[in-house]
Amino acid sequence: MRGLLLAGAALLLAGCATVPGEVARGTSSVSPVDDPRLDRVTETELVRFTGDGEFRRYLDRLGRIKDQRDGYALANREIVVAAATQDSDPPVCEDPENCPMEESADSVVVTGSKAAAPTSITNVQTAGVDEGDIVKQIGDYLLVLQDGRIFAINVKTMQLTDRADVYRRLPADRVKKNRWEDNFEGADWYDEMLVQDDHIIITAYSYEDSATEMSVFKLDQASGRVKSEGVFLITSDDYYDVDNYATRIVGDKLVVYTPYSVDQFEELEARPVLRRWLPQAEREKRKNEGVPLLDAKSIYKPVLRTADPRVHAISVCPLGDFDRSRNLDCRTTAFLGPRAAEMFVSPETIYLWTSTIYENEDGDRDECVKDWNYDTPYPVLPRAARRDVPAGALYRMPIGARDATVAGVSGNPYDHLSMDERDGEFRALVDWRTIRCEGAYYAPAESSLLKIRTNSFSTLFEPVADQAFTPLPSAGKRIVENRFADDWLLFGGRDNWGGYPPGDASTPQSAKAVAVPVKRPRDATVIDLPHNIVRVERVGNDVIVNGYRDDKGLNLTLIGLGKEARIASTTFLARRYESEGRSHAFNSVVDEGGNGLIGVPTVRSEEGSGRWWWNSNSSDLSFLTKSPAGQLGDAGSLIAVPADDVETHPDYVCEVSCIDWYGNSRAVFLAGRVFGLMGTHLVEARVENGKIREIARIDLTTPLPPR
């Protein structure tokens, strides 16, 4: 994720003298992962800072070490913090009606949920943990987030009941003629939507406010109207991620991950705060500084060597009392560590994997290949020679508590889908490539399976035993897609990061899918596929693997996962290409009898198959059927209006957030019914004789019915 702003203290340099015990000017070329000087500011036990004073002293000591690493011998460093010279309590919010509840650093989040989140219609990683997306459901209503607006559709009547702007318009006296882009207040991009009970939570980013914006709405299920309940801002630099999601809901708790840079600790006023958004006129009349999101007592000290630390903050915001309190009350815990991090949330626990993968500055080790360049294949080094994998710290924090535990790990997860928790055990697919060689990540990936009992995490930072890692067969590709499916893990990949099929003159593509029984990982099976892998997703208890053999179309292979892993069936969609890369673009449903339906956005243009997140053109939706025996069948497609032919209603104008960074096409399966979102059109369809057929369509840009 793009870093989020934090604030606190400023480092001011004064004087020039060699610090005793530190290396003199020009002698520090060692990488941070190898620099023992960083042990002076690294802990062997998971403990928080006692206050701002200790945090400032950490920054001062780290600054001295960095000066020496950069070739400067400086002394008499001084920490100056605006309006603060010693540990102090956070500022008191003077407007109780617009202030989140203040909690002490040692407070505990109440574990009981007053309301349960509805079953998700999104293709989520873990059952019971909903992820922010662009389509959600409340009762008889589908909700669509697009163009900075919430569209509410009653699926019983297939009528648009409301279209609510999430952004805010300026008052008439502040509107600038011929400058429509300046006539709105609020965020620039509205990306993620979650629902809980009757509430709708929209995550956005505002460059004007330098903050993540959390807008809360409420759906009146009797009328289908959407009403704003409040807008809250969390100081930040940005939150967008091409793969992971900024928000989760577990029960009635909103989970938000926000990383911050310590380089931006310049002023006390710059500390990250949570505050209610107010119009400019109200802000001028009322003091609206908000309350600190976290203080130094909420931050755990680093347990990994790092010369460029980040504050990785995780906020848990209970929503059950929102109707009563009208406030977003968040409790935040943070971990100081290297900037590389990946979050995974289970129904009971938040995990954060931080890694030193970006802390290496020396790419010229003896085991590296000399004169390597990006145009030559990188040879596979023996595992014994690839011992220098990134060190990592895996934090574990129950959702209902503020205290965390940690385990020392190695390697790096490929993405958030590489992590899983089941039956009291954390498991992860770990990238085992060295960090020592410049071109290592252009070599075929080497992977291991990590398994840790959840009760073995502790406050002592100790490396897990070597036996916790099981080397796995190589998939032979450098880009890896992966997915856990209960007690199975399946992974494989391709040579290039993007999703384009190979060109006309390319050699036909193939791949190896590695199926790992998690309880017996040494019994992993390698399955040869006649195509590469651009997507790995669950379909019931099985896994589907999508990819390309050539430029003729999309191949799909269903791998059955029972007592053993095997290819159940394959199918081919001629002149069809995947157009969206996020996991939420895919969806499937399987009934108790094993019959299933699968939907994925596709296009007929090979040029549209890059799966880029800035592509706002609507995609078609291709559907496949699945039999109880695992046979796939091509069920045809729902066809989007071509981009050049899209005609929105004359009265409809997209004003804000007009690039669909999270995509705009989704297959939705709802209580036996089939829907497809394709840009500004929502279609209902039905499968008859094995083929999808459109039966109703709504243009979301049409005028609303009279109130």
| Contact by Cβ (8 Å): 74, 17 | yes
Order of all β-strands in the sheet with 149-154: 135-138, 141-146, 149-154, 159-165
- Record the tokens describing residue 29, joined without a space: 């070329």
66 alpha-carbon distance from chain centroid = 31
Beta pairing class for 299-300 and 331-337: parallel
Residue with tokens 């209960």: 486
Q: What confidence score (pLDDT) does residue 177 get?
A: 58
| Contact by Cβ (8 Å): 230, 276 | yes
Q: What confidence score (pLDDT) does residue 178 get?
A: 54
Q: What confidence score (pLDDT) does residue 143 get?
A: 98
Q: What confidence score (pLDDT) does residue 170 get?
A: 79
Q: What confidence score (pLDDT) does residue 387 get?
A: 56
Q: What confidence score (pLDDT) does residue 293 get?
A: 87
Q: What confidence score (pLDDT) does residue 72 get?
A: 60
R_g of the chain, CA atoms, integer Å: 26
pTM: 0.87
Q: What confidence score (pLDDT) does residue 691 get?
A: 97
Of 363, 488, 497, nearest in space to 433 by CA: 363
| Contact by Cβ (8 Å): 588, 540 | yes
| Contact by Cβ (8 Å): 536, 511 | no
Q: What confidence score (pLDDT) does residue 32 get?
A: 87
In one-letter notation, the amino acid at residue 607 is: E
Q: What confidence score (pLDDT) does residue 235 get?
A: 86
pLDDT under 70: residue ranges of the chain: 1-29, 72-118, 172-182, 263-269, 280-281, 283-289, 361-387, 436-439, 441, 643-646
